[in-house]
């Protein structure tokens, strides 16, 4: 039974051949070397003590490497690389393009980004270079090729880290010229563009490609394209840096760090460019907060999304905070145990490494209060005192304990999971829904609703893939479309075929509303013929504030046994049945008795349509019933206590099955977890459990399935 959920082979890990779980950190010793010349040796000692086996180096070090144009200083980086190699650490070496030197900003003003009001930025901050500037390209190509040539073949060099968190847009003349070219390449004629953007609206028809004004918010189809264009700009930039590195060190994997589910960046597209998917996450995991469990569920979903971006290689949690995050206020300290919970959560979803921002916190500037493995309480300049103090501090001890745990769990490297359930996560739907004035959604609503569909599976320990729409659906028993706003004819055909062939498809309200230009579909939604698949058509959608209740009435004797007191909120898609059966109806307002949850047999499969935002109990009832109907497999075949999830990783080869269960407790109470028929051995303690296993408050544990 377990075999059904496991892949037939291990996948490569982020650093091929490295038989350890990566446990690393951003490392910026260039901020220290002039005042504490012994810092490299001290840090090496502290890294060893903490069990840190990798470091991300040089991320914003351009001025340290090239203090003035054409004058280079690699001596300090040579020493860093040497020291890291000496202690057997792997280096993720960054290109420095994430922050430009002052001399560059002065000499090449075109490299500085222009904002939407047309103002060119003064020198300062970071992540602010123009995507098109020839001078910036030239200077970056030069420093990158020097770095690659110098460290080619270096024993510490394990991965390239392009720039840092590539993001943002530029409105300079060069970028605007690229935009005009991009539009022309996409639409060929202005008439086609006018049609796609519905630009006759308010007399917005351009008569030149250059007329299409990217700051003009009224034409949402155009803004949709501006988002796409900027992802292309980012990809072009990434390719420019990555290709330059690969020409010199083809054997070294290249990546760049993503920022979870950032609204404006379609990371599913960018993931196709990188060798390793790497993410930076900063969840607000506060066990005292009422939304702690909800947060936990959301970040598990995010991790599943990341596994699915590149299932052929395990992902890497590149940045996380071992302490308190200084840009989140109030700066509440991470409670004991939360760090392990967050790191195990990433590993549970298939990550093969976790790293921190950062290893050693600086003494000054904007991030001095940002949590780090080595914070200012640990002195610099006296290694004996530093080691003594480090062992007395909570943060350092937690990191050290985590390393010890990682040492015992290398068996999980390269293992993964083959879920029977997929949630389709679509950046374009997120854009289309938010850009459409009237939906009233902010950039987080999409994630919230997706996580609400994900939650029942998380709580039941049922593995879920969170996939982009272009993935193969045929391997899943159940596919869920939360607010799948954009439907193209091709996607509609794919969904239709999936159901015809026997699949079960669930969609929520706001599915199939618009085409790829964000123009609404005609003739009732879900569009592109999907209303036949769902056996209904939506006439109009009522949108009320998020807390506005939508009481529902379950149809007596409904086949899913949905309970009588079912409730939704916020949205009501007012639909007409055309073949589907109502499992529940709205109970109030002028659309009382209209369908709220429906089912429809289509081909060999079945669809469900959910016309409102079901509350937690409603989603639990709906997906619980579908789970039983489809006999979905769980990591542990028993009901998990509240706040606890069980996540599976493993491999089922001809030689046998090797599988691991992670238990994560997103609650402040100790739990007793029933194990059903599973026999589990804790990888850290070696203890074997049958029937039940105790799990401490905020506990995170990993077990081998015997
Ligand atoms: C990330 C960034 C790091 C650091 C960190 C602080 O977004 O990549 O360089 O600034 O935030 O949380």
Strand, coil or helix: 423: strand
Tokens encoding 612: 């409102």
Q: How far apart are the C-alpha atoms of 548 and 615, rounded to whole Å? A: 11
Whether the pLDDT of residue 45 is over 90: the answer is: yes
Grade residue 459 by pLDDT with cuts at 50, 70 and 90: very high
Q: 446 CB under 6 A from ligand 1?
A: no
Grade residue 172 by pLDDT with cuts at 50, 70 and 90: very high
pLDDT digits (tens, 9 = 90+) for 400-444: 999 999 999 999 999 999 999 999 999 999 999 999 999 999 999
Q: 370 CB under 6 A from ligand 1?
A: yes
Q: What was the pLDDT predicted at 563? A: 94
Tokens encoding 694: 């105790």
Calculate how far, in angstroms, residue 367's C-alpha sits from the geometric centre of ligand 1. Answer: 9
Q: What was the pLDDT predicted at 653? A: 87
Grade residue 3 by pLDDT with cuts at 50, 70 and 90: confident
Tokens encoding 402: 């985590």
Q: What was the pLDDT predicted at 130? A: 98
Calculate how far, in angstroms, residue 278's C-alpha sits from the geometric centre of ligand 1. Answer: 13
CA atoms within 13 A on the CB side of 520: 15
Contact 655, 26 (CB under 8 A): no
Compute the residue count for the chain. Answer: 706
The whole-number average pLDDT for the span 246-254 is 98
Q: How far apart are the C-alpha atoms of 216 and 231, rounded to whole Å? A: 19
Q: How many CB atoms lie within 10 A of CB 198?
A: 16
Strand, coil or helix: 149: helix
Task: Please name which of 188, 218, 182 lies closest in space to residue 200, comparing C-alpha atoms.
Answer: 218
Closest ligand 1 atom, CA of 60? Answer: 9
Whether the pLDDT of residue 565 is over 90: the answer is: no
What integer best gives the mean pLDDT of the chain?
A: 97
Q: 280 CB under 6 A from ligand 1?
A: yes
Q: How far apart are the C-alpha atoms of 593 and 609, rounded to whole Å? A: 15
Question: Burial, 200: exposed, middle or buried (Cβ in 10 Å; 0-12, 13-18, 19+)?
Answer: exposed
Contact 75, 29 (CB under 8 A): no
Calculate how far, in angstroms, residue 15's C-alpha sits from the geometric centre of ligand 1. Answer: 22
Q: 27 CB under 6 A from ligand 1?
A: no
Calculate how far, in angstroms, residue 352's C-alpha sits from the geometric centre of ligand 1. Answer: 21
Q: 164 CB under 6 A from ligand 1?
A: yes
- Protein residue with least CA distance to atom 1, ligand 1: 280
Q: What was the pLDDT predicted at 541? A: 98
**Strands 536-543 vs 567-577: parallel, antiparallel or unpaired:** antiparallel
pLDDT digits (tens, 9 = 90+) for 475-516: 999 999 999 999 999 999 999 999 999 999 999 999 999 999
Strand, coil or helix: 47: helix
Q: What was the pLDDT predicted at 546? A: 84
pLDDT digits (tens, 9 = 90+) for 178-199: 999 999 999 999 999 999 999 9
Task: Please name which of 273, 276, 302 lies closest in space to residue 160, comparing C-alpha atoms.
Answer: 276
Calculate how far, in angstroms, residue 357's C-alpha sits from the geometric centre of ligand 1. Answer: 7
Task: Please name which of 510, 591, 584 lies closest in space to residue 554, comparing C-alpha atoms.
Answer: 584
Distances from the Cα of 364 to the Cαs of 26, 361, 396, 510, in angstroms? 17, 9, 20, 48
Q: How far apart are the C-alpha atoms of 309 and 303, rounded to whole Å? A: 10
Q: How far apart are the C-alpha atoms of 168 and 617, rounded to whole Å? A: 39
- Protein residue with least CA distance to atom 11, ligand 1: 357
> What positions carry a catalytic annotation?
165, 319
- Site to substitute for ligand 1 among 164, 283, 319, 369, most atoms within 8 A of C-beta: 319
Q: 285 CB under 6 A from ligand 1?
A: no
Looking at residue 533, the DSSP 8-state letter turns out to be H
CA angle, 164 as apex, 163 and 167 as ends, to 5°? 105
Contact 544, 580 (CB under 8 A): no
Task: Please name which of 164, 100, 160 lies closest in space to residue 130, comparing C-alpha atoms.
Answer: 100
The whole-number average pLDDT for the span 69-91 is 98
Whether the pLDDT of residue 225 is over 90: the answer is: yes
Q: 279 CB under 6 A from ligand 1?
A: no
Q: What was the pLDDT predicted at 387? A: 98
Query: Residue 679: left if φ>0, alpha if ψ -120 to 50, beta else—which one?
Result: beta
Task: Please name which of 596, 568, 592 lies closest in space to residue 582, comparing C-alpha atoms.
Answer: 596
Calculate how far, in angstroms, residue 387's C-alpha sits from the geometric centre of ligand 1. Answer: 26
Q: What was the pLDDT predicted at 503? A: 98
Q: How far apart are the C-alpha atoms of 423 and 451, rounded to whole Å? A: 9
pLDDT digits (tens, 9 = 90+) for 608-663: 999 999 999 999 999 999 999 999 999 999 999 999 999 999 999 888 899 999 99
Distances from the Cα of 28 to the Cαs of 115, 370, 376, in angstroms? 30, 14, 14
The whole-number average pLDDT for the span 676-704 is 98
Long-range interactions of 87-90: CB distance < 8 A, separation 24+: 87/44, 87/47, 87/48, 88/53, 89/24, 89/47, 89/52, 89/53, 89/54, 89/55, 89/156, 90/15, 90/18, 90/22, 90/24, 90/53, 90/54, 90/55, 90/156, 90/158, 90/159
Contact 569, 613 (CB under 8 A): yes
Task: Please name which of 162, 159, 110, 168 lies closest in space to residue 136, comparing C-alpha atoms.
Answer: 110
- Site to substitute for ligand 1 among 60, 318, 357, most atoms within 8 A of C-beta: 357
Q: What was the pLDDT predicted at 451? A: 98
Q: How far apart are the C-alpha atoms of 513 and 521, rounded to whole Å? A: 6
Closest ligand 1 atom, CA of 321? Answer: 12
Distances from the Cα of 699 to the Cαs of 131, 352, 413, 570, 664, in angstroms? 45, 20, 21, 35, 6
Give residue 266's Cα distance to chain centre: 10
Q: How far apart are the C-alpha atoms of 634 and 646, rounded to whole Å? A: 8
Helix (H) or strand (E) holding 464: strand 464-467
Bridge partners of 646, per DSSP, are 663
SS3 content of the chain, % helix, strand, coil (to 5): 35, 25, 45
Grade residue 218 by pLDDT with cuts at 50, 70 and 90: very high
Q: 326 CB under 6 A from ligand 1?
A: no
Q: What was the pLDDT predicted at 695? A: 98
Calculate how far, in angstroms, residue 370's C-alpha sits from the geometric centre of ligand 1. Answer: 9
Q: What was the pLDDT predicted at 648? A: 98
Calculate how far, in angstroms, residue 68's C-alpha sits from the geometric centre of ligand 1. Answer: 26
Contact 423, 507 (CB under 8 A): no
- Site to substitute for ligand 1 among 367, 369, 372, most atoms within 8 A of C-beta: 367
Q: What are the DSSP E strand ranges found in 346-405? A: 353-356
Question: What share of the chain has pLDDT > 70, as a percent?
Answer: 100
Q: How far apart are the C-alpha atoms of 488 and 512, rounded to whole Å? A: 8
Q: 319 CB under 6 A from ligand 1?
A: yes
Task: Please name which of 501, 497, 594 lies closest in space to residue 542, comparing C-alpha atoms.
Answer: 594
- Protein residue with least CA distance to atom 5, ligand 1: 357
- Protein residue with least CA distance to atom 3, ligand 1: 357
Tokens encoding 674: 């029933």
Q: How far apart are the C-alpha atoms of 634 and 626, rounded to whole Å? A: 14
């Amino acid at each position: 039974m377990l075999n059904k959920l496991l892949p037939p082979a291990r996948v490569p890990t982020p650093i091929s051949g490295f038989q350890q779980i990566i446990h690393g950190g951003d490392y910026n010793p260039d901020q220290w070397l002039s005042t504490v010349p012994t810092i490299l040796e001290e840090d090496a000692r502290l890294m060893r003590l903490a069990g840190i086996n990798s470091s991300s180096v040089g991320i914003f070090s351009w001025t340290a490497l090239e203090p003035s144009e054409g004058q280079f200083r690699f001596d300090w980086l040579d020493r860093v690389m040497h020291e890291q190699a000496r202690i057997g650490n792997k280096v993720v070496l960054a290109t420095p393009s994430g922050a430009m030197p002052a001399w560059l900003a002065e000499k090449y003003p075109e490299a500085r980004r222009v904002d939407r009001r047309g103002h060119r930025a003064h020198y300062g901050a970071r992540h602010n270079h123009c995507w098109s500037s020839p001078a910036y390209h030239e200077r970056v190509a030069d420093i990158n090729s020097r770095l690659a040539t110098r460290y080619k073949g270096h024993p510490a060099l394990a991965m390239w880290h392009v720039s840092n968190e590539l993001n943002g847009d530029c409105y300079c003349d060069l970028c605007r010229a690229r935009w005009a070219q991009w539009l022309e390449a996409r639409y060929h004629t202005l008439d086609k563009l006018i049609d796609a953007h519905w630009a006759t609206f308010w007399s917005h028809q351009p008569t030149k490609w250059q007329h299409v004004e990217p700051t003009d918010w009224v034409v949402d189809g155009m803004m949709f394209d501006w988002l796409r264009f900027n992802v292309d700009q980012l990809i072009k930039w990434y390719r420019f840096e990555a290709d330059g590195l690969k020409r010199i060190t083809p054997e070294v994997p290249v990546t760049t760090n993503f920022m979870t589910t950032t609204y404006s960046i379609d990371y599913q597209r960018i993931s196709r460019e990188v060798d390793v998917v790497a993410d930076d996450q900063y969840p607000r995991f506060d066990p005292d907060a009422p939304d702690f469990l909800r947060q936990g569920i959301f970040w598990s979903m995010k991790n599943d999304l990341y596994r699915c971006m590149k299932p052929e290689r395990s992902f890497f949690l590149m940045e996380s905070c071992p302490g308190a995050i200084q840009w989140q206020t109030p700066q509440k300290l991470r409670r004991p145990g939360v760090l392990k919970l967050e790191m195990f959560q990433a590993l549970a979803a298939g990550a093969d490494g976790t790293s921190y921002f950062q290893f050693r916190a600086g003494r000054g500037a904007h991030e001095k209060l940002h949590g780090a493995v080595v914070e200012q309480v640990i002195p610099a300049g006296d290694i004996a005192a530093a080691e003594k103090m480090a062992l007395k501090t909570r943060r350092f001890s937690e990191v050290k304990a985590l390393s010890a745990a990682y040492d015992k769990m290398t068996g999980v490297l390269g293992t993964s999971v083959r879920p029977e359930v997929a949630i389709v996560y679509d950046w374009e739907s997120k854009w289309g829904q938010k850009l459409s004035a009237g939906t009233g959604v902010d950039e987080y609503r999409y994630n919230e609703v997706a996580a609400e569909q994900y939650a029942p599976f998380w709580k039941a320990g049922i593995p879920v893939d969170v996939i982009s729409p272009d993935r193969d659906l045929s391997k899943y028993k159940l596919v869920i479309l939360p607010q799948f706003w954009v439907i193209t004819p091709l996607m509609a055909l794919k969904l239709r075929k999936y159901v015809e062939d026997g699949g079960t498809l669930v969609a929520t309200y706001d599915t199939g509303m618009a085409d790829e230009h964000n123009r609404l579909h005609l003739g009732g939604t879900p569009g592109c013929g999907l209303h036949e698949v769902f056996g209904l058509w939506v006439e109009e959608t009522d949108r009320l504030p998020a807390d506005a209740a939508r009481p529902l009435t379950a149809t007596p004797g409904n086949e899913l046994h949905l309970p009588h007191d079912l409730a939704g909120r916020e949205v009501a898609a007012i639909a007409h049945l055309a073949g589907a059966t109502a499992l529940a109806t709205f109970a109030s307002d002028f659309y009382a008795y209209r369908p709220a949850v429906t089912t429809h047999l289509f081909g060999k499969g079945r669809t469900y349509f959910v016309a409102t935002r079901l509350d937690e109990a409603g989603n639990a009832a709906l997906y619980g019933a579908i789970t039983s109907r489809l006999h979905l497999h769980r990591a542990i075949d028993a009901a998990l206590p509240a706040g606890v999830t069980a996540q599976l990783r493993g491999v089922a080869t001809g030689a046998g099955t090797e599988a691991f269960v992670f238990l994560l407790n997103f609650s402040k109470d100790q739990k007793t977890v029933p194990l059903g028929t599973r026999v589990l051995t804790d990888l850290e303690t070696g203890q074997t459990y049958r029937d039940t296993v105790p799990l401490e408050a905020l506990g995170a544990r990993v077990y081998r399935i015997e």
